[in-house]
Amino acid sequence: MKTPAPKTCEVKVEGRWQAASLDEARVTYRDAPKRCAACHGPVYVTGTYTSTGTLALAHRKKHSGCPLIGKGFSGTPSPHPNALS
């Protein structure tokens, strides 16, 4: 399983998943479904809404098999139980 940069996610546009930065996901793809690029679980973008704010990716349902969640990671990557396809 690949380990993408934590500052990106995937958005569904016209039926296809594509990579997007968190800023793009928040603004350009605000209404599109979003998923984690690593475990494919549903995610949303958190952070302050200013030009200097720090955006972060948050899983709607925490998943210990995702390397992107940080300290909650079990050490063994596995697909999210609610993975979007």
Residue 25 as a binder of Zn ion (CB under 5 A): the answer is no
Choice from 22, 39, 45, 65 touching Zn ion (CB under 5 A) = 39
Choice from 26, 38, 45, 65 touching Zn ion (CB under 5 A) = 38
Closer CB to Zn ion, residue 49 or residue 70?
A: 70
Largest CA distance in the chain: 36
Choice from 11, 20, 22, 36 touching Zn ion (CB under 5 A) = 36
**Among the residues of 1-85, which ranges form H helices?**
22-27
- Assigned token pair, 40: 């494919």
- Assigned token pair, 2: 């690949």
